[in-house]
Amino acid sequence: MNESPVRLIGVTRRFGDTVALERVSLDIRAGSSVALVGPNGSGKSTLLGLLAGLATPDGGAIELGTAAGRAARVGVVHQRSALDPILTVRENLALHAGLCGLKRSASRERIRALAQRVGLTDRLHDRVSTLSGGLARRCDLARALLHEPGVLLLDEPTAGLDAASRRAFVELLDAERRERSMTVIHATHHADEAEWADRVVMLDRGRISADAPPAEMLAPLGERVVEAPGEPGASVGLLERMGLEPFATAHGAIARVTPGVDLAALLESGHEIRVRRPTLDDVQAVRLASDAERVS
């Protein structure tokens, strides 16, 4: 029995002089969900591209298999929609069913069932160019599920969607994963999307900087953090004056709530701060700050 249908062994990928991935090794359990997070250029899309077979590593090996030991079927939802806007939803799905080698009768049935699952039954005869961003992404998901893949790869599938569409997409994806027992590898910029995964793999400059379940990754930040939104430098200064140990983030600064911190007094200080649950974005900010400190 193969417990790890997806395995990367010391995978390296270069683009000219740039090392996009450096000796990355990963074992991913069958039926689990893994979120790949990291800043732009950290190697998330490169890793997914290698798994999808769009490129091959310069070093190391990639193994894709099923629990039964056969080659895994892989479905991919790309960062940009892989649908032809001039074709209808049904035509696009039929096209991809053909690419997956499905017989016409099986493809018709699969398209009908999937359209129902993703809420596109009423739009099957509409051209993809007329769909909203959220619906187009659902159609992309249906396309990737047509051949019932054992491994589903998603490269920032919710980029550009509003919060409601994003949530709807992630809920749909989670339901599909549970029902089909698929292995899901999902690159995302959104911390809330990564938190539903069984495991979070953080990439930084082509290397794995952290690899743990979300709860374990969040644990060092405690139950709550104080956030000061605004220009990061000024926000760090503000939290320091409050006696905290801040870390700069993309939108300001955060600090752990350590024992002895008088939260009520901080909130009444009149400064624009808030207390909230920590997120994986915070974990990433703290890690980047710690790395920078180590380097300096």
Binding site for another protein (CB under 8 A): 2, 50-57, 61-65, 69-74, 76, 78-87, 91, 94-101, 104, 143, 147
C-beta of 69 vs 270, nearer to another protein: 69
For residue 113, the minimal CB distance to another protein (Å) is: 19
C-beta of 106 vs 219, nearer to another protein: 106
For residue 80, the minimal CB distance to another protein (Å) is: 3
The answer for residues whose C-beta is within 8 angstroms of residue 8's C-beta and 6 or more apart is: 24, 25, 26, 47, 50, 60, 61, 62, 63
For residue 140, the minimal CB distance to another protein (Å) is: 8
C-beta of 54 vs 267, nearer to another protein: 54
Q: Are 153 and 74 contacting, i.e. CB atoms less than 8 angstroms apart?
A: yes
Q: What's the distance, Cα to Cα, between the start and end of the chain in Å?
A: 48
C-beta of 93 vs 244, nearer to another protein: 93
For residue 33, the minimal CB distance to another protein (Å) is: 20
- CA separation (Å) from 234 to 51, 141, 289, 291? 42, 42, 16, 21
The answer for residues whose C-beta is within 8 angstroms of residue 272's C-beta and 6 or more apart is: 228, 229, 230
**Cα 219–chain centre separation:** 20
For residue 193, the minimal CB distance to another protein (Å) is: 20
C-beta of 22 vs 192, nearer to another protein: 22
Please give the structure tokens belonging to residue 138. 């659902």
